[in-house]
Amino acid sequence: MASGSKFTYTDLQNPLFLYPSDGPTSMSVSNLQGPVDYRAWRRQFEIQLSAKRKFGFFNASIPRSTSDAAEAAQWDTCNNMVISWIHNNISDAIKTSVLFITTASDIWKHLEIRFSLTNGSRKYKLRKDLFNFKQNGKKVFDYFTG
């Protein structure tokens, strides 16, 4: 980062740069509830992450440095910020299920596997049926993750 309080264009383009306004609640989309709203939630999240130059933390295209300790620490900070954005935009039940996953890309993969629904497929129908199935008056999803 540039000396003083001014940022250079290079700073602003760096995906490891966090703006002073970036905080755990600086990104807001509708809370992910499950498979029914996953696709819209994912798209909204992708747009906002891309605008903040942080989508690479989801698709793992921004690697953590293994040779530069300062850069690795900066990557850890950004990764944890992205994780906090995820946590603040998913339901409590889903948050509980991803709380101990340590990278944003692994959380993204977990959510994709868990909630992506391919319309017209048997897999989609099975996931939809399972999502709506109830145990003790609660949807199974809430029963086991809540």
Q: H or E segment at 139?
A: strand 138-139
> pLDDT (tens digit, 9 = 90+) per residue, 58-95?
999 999 999 999 999 999 999 999 999 999 999 999 99
Give tens-digit pLDDT for 100-134. Answer: 999 999 999 999 988 876 544 555 555 556 656 66
Give residue 100's identity as a one-letter amino acid code. F
Give CA–CA dist 55/72, Å, rounded. Answer: 17
In degrees, rounded to 5, the angle at the alpha carbon of residue 99 between the alpha carbons of residues 97 and 104 is 105
Rounded to whole angstroms, the maximal C-alpha distance in the chain is 60
Handedness of CA 44, 48, 50, 54 (dihedral sign): negative
> Could you tell me the pTM of the whole model?
0.76
